[in-house]
Amino acid sequence: MANQLSRRTVLGLAAGVPLSLALGSCGTSGPGASSGATYWFLNGQPQEGIRTGAVDRFNKADPSEKISPTTFQNDAYKTKIKTAIGAGQAPTIIWGWGGGTLRTYVKAGQVEDLTSWFDQNAKVKGRLFPTAFSAATVDGKIYALPCETVQPIIMYYNKRVFDSVGARPPQTWGEVMDLVPKLNAKGIAPFSLGGQSRWTNMMWLEFLFDRIGGPEVFQAVFDGQKDAWSNPAAIEALTKVQDLVRADGFIKGFSSITADSNADQALLYTGKAAMMLHGSWSYGIQQSQGGDFVSSGSLGFMNFPAVDGGKGDPSDTVGNPAQYLSISSKATDEQKKIAKDFFAKGVLDDEEIKQWIGTGGVPVVKGTQDLLAKDRNAEFLKFTYDIASNAKVFAQSWDQALSPTAAETLLDNISKLFQLSITPQQFATNLNAVIGQ
């Protein structure tokens, strides 16, 4: 798993950092191809090779159905795909992140409703994690196929640090707050945090909202309910995270630390911080950069602690339930048929599943436990699989679930919240103003 990449390359999420130095696209076919289907997706290895391999195997299996791929660097793709879709020149198959962006495509009638197709192809839907479909669903209808890997957010901890202070990892929020002064007294930061990157702070709120009020608190925001951010559970979550900041729960100077530099990871594996909330991709970074930290068994991992008296289910998780493939509503009937055949036969075939596992990922497919057990990182992969498959709710990262406009306002105000420059009530007011945008 040494080749596992960071959030910016694996996910291409809010940070929008390039997958490679190339700014242009590569490939031979765009949306105007005269025959066959077209497919745009991100470049950068090893993900690009896995995606291209799936297309190649599909094309060879039935030469009468051809898919022509075109790859783009992350930022270029986001601009190009938005422009192409808006102009009615989208590729047949649209790779994306689901959530808020997909919702905008749906509202504009730009992507195909796949609900009836999934009804007719129950086996395709049945082999995937059910929780992956929430970010593919708009107003009760399915508009995308979940694909690739699951990436939950995980609470990591340094076992060596806990042994040295004679403590155990916290199982509740109360235990978190009790640990903070004990760790600070030993000169150890309770939590590492790359706060300058903003989305790293967001993960704390995602979990606290869920643990305190259940998934319906953020769902109300996503659904556009007026003043949803002012829900008492939301205010309590915002207050608790500021309580943690005031108690020196995070590494000193966290607002100047970037996640892209992996400095937050180093604080954990060097023992300068006891714990860190981060994505499943963090495991590979610590394995490749942390010396014997992982191989010696010093890295611990767990789901986010429960909050005393909270309504949320402690099995719930947040992160990225999958990546997503949609079909352009402007495609020809022939192109749509090819795309749907690819969805049924080509996406997440046995070879692709093995290749994703080889990168340290857990495919969004049920029943891969035997394959995961054979990997050198079997314990962590099984943990990730169990988190994803057992979660009653796998909420999508907020910056992907919301529209780009609302997401930027969210990230800006989260940064201010952690810097204690705004109150929970001010945060709620600012975010209520962009609900539905």
In this predicted structure, the answer to whether residue 18 has a pLDDT above a threshold of 70 is no
Question: When comparing pLDDT for 6 and 178, which is higher?
Answer: 178
pLDDT at 76: 87
pLDDT band of residue 6 (cuts 50, 70, 90) is: very low
Res 13 pLDDT > 60: no
- Confidence (pLDDT) at 359: 85
Two tokens, residue 244: 């943690």
Of 259, 269, 266, 272, nearest to 190 (Cα)? Answer: 272
Indicate if the pLDDT at residue 187 is higher than 70: yes
DSSP, residue by residue, 111-131: B---HHHHHHTHHHHHTB-GG
Report the pLDDT averaged over residues 21-30.
40
Q: What is the mean pLDDT of residues 66-83?
A: 91
pLDDT band at 24 (very low <50, low <70, confident <90, very high): very low
Give the mean model confidence (pLDDT) for residues 51-57: 97
**Is 70 exceeded by the pLDDT of residue 3?**
no
Mean pLDDT for 22-38 is 54
Residue 412 banded pLDDT, cuts 50, 70, 90: very high
Per-residue pLDDT averaged across 188-215, rounded? Answer: 96
pLDDT at 138: 93
Confidence of residue 7 (pLDDT cuts 50, 70, 90): very low
Closest by CA position to 53, among listed 63, 65, 35, 67: 67
Q: Report phi then psi at 423, rounded to 5.
A: -90, 165
DSSP 142-194: E--EEESEEEEEEEEEEHHHHHHHT----SBHHHHHHHHHHHHHTT-EEEE--
Model confidence at 403, pLDDT cuts 50, 70, 90, reads confident
pLDDT of 106 over the 70 cut: yes
pLDDT tens, position by position, 319-378: 999 999 999 999 999 999 999 999 999 999 999 999 999 888 999 999 999 999 999 999
For range 294-317, the mean pLDDT: 96
**Of the candidates 201, 210, 198, which has an alpha carbon nearest to the alpha carbon of residue 318?**
210
The mean pLDDT of the chain is 91
What span, in angstroms and rounded, lies between the C-alpha atoms of 301 and 280?
Answer: 10
Q: Is the peptide bond before 46 cis (omega within 30 degrees of 0)?
A: yes
The string of pLDDT tens digits covering residues 151-185 is 999 999 999 999 999 999 999 999 999 999 999 99
The whole model's pTM is what?
0.83
Percentage of the chain exceeding pLDDT 90: 83
User: Does pLDDT of 23 surpass 80?
Assistant: no
Phi, psi (deg, nearest 5) at residue 83: -65, -45
Residue range 17-37: mean pLDDT, rounded:
47
What does the pLDDT average to over 116-133?
96
Radius of gyration of the chain from its Cα atoms, rounded to whole angstroms: 21
pLDDT at 8: 36
pLDDT attached to residue 58? 98
Q: Is pLDDT above 50 for 416?
A: yes
Vertex 277, ends 275 and 283: CA angle to 5°? 85
Q: Summarize pLDDT for 273-284 with one digit per residue, the tens.
A: 999 999 998 998
How buried is 230 (Cβ within 10 angstroms: 0-12 exposed, 13-18 middle, 19+ buried)?
A: middle
Q: What is the mean pLDDT of residues 46-61?
A: 95
Q: What is the largest CA-CA distance in the chain?
A: 69
| pLDDT confidence band for 119 (50 / 70 / 90) | very high
Helix axes 199-213, 232-246, angle to 10 degrees: 130
Strand partners, 337: none
Closest CA to 94 of 278, 335, 305: 335
